[in-house]
Amino acid sequence: MPQRRGTRRLVVGALALLALGYAAPVPAQPSDFEIAKKLRDAALKDEWGYRFLETLTTTIGPRLAATEAEARAAAWAESEMKKAGFDAVHRESITMPAWHRGREEAAVVSPSPQRLIVTALGGSVATPPDGIEAEIVLFRLYSELLAAAPGSLKGKIAVVTERMPRVMDGASYGALNPIRRLGPSEAAKRGAIAYLHRSLGTDNHRLAHAGATNYEGGITRIPAAALSNPDADQLERLAARGKVRLRVTLTPSVEDNAQSWTVSGEIRGSEKPDEIVLIGAHLDSWDLGTGAIDDGAGDAIVLAAARLIGKLAPHPRRTIRVVLFGAEEMNYAGPAYAKAHAEEVPRIALAAESDFGARKIYTLLAPQGAAKTPFTRTLADTVSPLGIFLNSAPALNSGDDIAPLRALGVPVIAFRQNGLDYFDIHHTADDTLDKVDPQELHQNIAAWAAMTYLAAQSDLDFRKLAADAKP
């Protein structure tokens, strides 16, 4: 505020000089680029985001969707957002079944009794209390399971051991996801009575990676779990030598009509408050770790970025809405949000989600059709000193919770982070705060602050640019 008053005084003074016949230059208002750079530099030094993440992972810890812990996280986040000065802070409920993990044990019964490390897939049904014992049929490739004849797995435990490759952008996770999402029903169609798969993870620790599965309607629901990578290797070696019998015991339970919560708040726009730039992350987590990289870091990044923008006077033109989705891991929040906010969709100018941990961002994907606009050029110049380059590819998605909005025509923008070790930790007991480097978190917050500010300050119609870009 004092700075602006000073500027106005200078302008008035300069006009007076001009009136007197002096050709003195008129000092300009700070440009969007200058403000974006200031936000970037302030974010690199701002401790608020890391503190938010530290408190979330310490005082709440694991936040499985629709549990008491997730509700506490939502109530706490709501109060933090109010304290941080956000407008219109509120919670929206999502009714869904709450899945609670029970005992999870697996062991080789023969030829050589030994324990195996497993974790039940989210949504899995239970085995009988004393477990299921059966011979395994092991497939080194998922496609080999799909090629197995109907009835060929009758009474057997199906095991898929295809390994997920380590790649920078994490694209192998999406590519291999059907092994976990669809594998149990595919095995059941062929007669299997239980399903195990090699964790979708790139580590070699004896930690299994959790994750949800989706049973196909009309197909018998069989118990399903993920094996740690070394345990999947062990089963491959044993199976190569002959018959292997396993006992698997999983005792999860389901509570119907439970509540998950999505929390949101706004930085109200100064000129076009009805137009919304929506940035999000998800507040729920798996229960084995404390959800630090997935996705407490994302919550901290989008909140801390928007909080810094909220300190500007005046606020940028468009409204910034921060949404902390509930129940992402079980796939309820995104569809529920798009449905509840359908009437607002035409007013959402741009959306983005941070849901890939806290490692450094290395590239920016501009909204479709917007690569050559002043908005993108200014943003690319602002984030270049952070080690981020403008990708030649446009952003076609930006997080699972945003996907249903995207499907309704909301344009998206995206950053990509170094994901080389993301899937070493993702959905395991190792997803804890020590895996987050505060400096790398700050780099993310700086990039998000610059992007969100410039998008909210921009006059561009991202929808029209995207429509014009389509062949």
- Binding of residue 287 to Zn ion (CB under 5 A): no
CB of 236 to Zn ion, least distance (A): 29
Rounded to whole angstroms, what are the CA distances from 291 to 104, 120, 401?
20, 17, 17
Q: Find the shortest distance in angstroms from Cβ 309 to Zn ion.
A: 24
Side-chain half-sphere of 76: how many Cα atoms within 13 Å? 19
Q: How far is the CB of 200 from Zn ion (least distance, A)?
A: 13
Interface with Zn ion (CB under 5 A), residue from 92, 104, 186, 294: 294
**CB nearer Zn ion, residue 362 or residue 422:** 422
Around Cβ 33, how many Cβ atoms within 10 Å? 16
How far is it, in rounded angstroms, from Cα 72 to Cα 113? 42
C-beta closer to Zn ion: residue 92 or 294: 294
Nearer to Zn ion, 156 or 435 (CB): 435
Identity of residue 89: V
Q: CA triplet 246, 249, 253: central angle to 5 degrees?
A: 155
Cα separation, 265 vs 268, in Å, equals 9
Burial of 348 (0-12, 13-18, 19+ CB in 10 A): buried
Identify which range of 201-209, 270-278, 287-295, 370-378 contacts Zn ion by CB under 5 A.
287-295
Interaction residues for Zn ion, span 246-265 (CB under 5 A): none
* 322: three-class secondary structure by DSSP: strand
Strand 132-139 with 245-250, pairing: antiparallel
Side-by-side strand order, sheet with 272-282: 87-100, 253-267, 318-325, 272-282, 348-353
Phi-psi region of 440 (alpha: psi -120 to 50; beta: other; left: phi over 0): alpha
299 binds Zn ion (CB under 5 A): no
Number of residues that bind Zn ion (CB under 5 A): 3
Counting contacts by CB under 5 A, is residue 431 touching Zn ion?
no
H or E stretch at 178? helix 178-181
| Closest approach of Zn ion to the CB of residue 324, in Å | 12
Closer to Zn ion at the Cβ: 104 or 295? Answer: 295
Closest Cα to residue 314, out of 266, 270, 264, 349?
270
Among the residue ranges 190-198, 271-279, 355-363, 448-456, the one whose residues contact Zn ion (CB under 5 A): 355-363
| Residue showing tokens 């192998």 | 172
Q: Is 82 left (phi over 0), alpha (psi -120 to 50) or beta?
A: alpha
Q: Does 355 bind Zn ion (CB under 5 A)?
A: yes
For the bound state, the minimum distance from the C-beta of residue 355 to Zn ion, rounded and expressed in Å, comes to 4
Q: How far is the CB of 152 from Zn ion (least distance, A)?
A: 36
Taking the least distance from each CB to Zn ion, the nearer of 231 and 294 is 294
Which CB atom, from 50 or from 325, has the smaller least distance to Zn ion?
325
Least gap, CB of 327 to Zn ion (angstroms) = 11
Nearest distance in Å: CB 59, Zn ion: 20
- Cβ closest to Zn ion, residue 198 vs residue 426: 426
Could you give the CA distance from residue 134 to residue 89 in angstroms, rounded to a whole number?
Answer: 53
Interface segment toward Zn ion; rule CB under 5 A; list 19-27, 100-108, 258-266, 290-298:
290-298
Question: From the CB of residue 391, how many other CB atoms can be counted at a distance below 10 Å?
Answer: 17
| Span from 95-103, 241-249, 295-303, 314-322 in contact with Zn ion (CB under 5 A) | 295-303
Minimum CB–partner distance for residue 239 and Zn ion (Å)? 33
**Which among 119-127, 197-205, 293-301, 333-341 is the span making contact with Zn ion, rule CB under 5 A?**
293-301
Q: If binding is defined by CB under 5 A, does position 295 make contact with Zn ion?
A: yes
Between 203 and 299, whose beta carbon lies closer to Zn ion? 299
91 residue type, one letter: R
Piece of the chain touching Zn ion by CB under 5 A; list 11-19, 117-125, 272-280, 354-362: 354-362
- Using only C-alpha atoms, the chain has a radius of gyration, in whole angstroms, of 25
Select from 49-57, 210-218, 349-357, 388-396 the region that touches Zn ion (CB under 5 A). 349-357
- Strand 132-139 and strand 414-417: pairing? unpaired
The residues that touch Zn ion, with contacts defined as CB under 5 A, are 294-295, 355
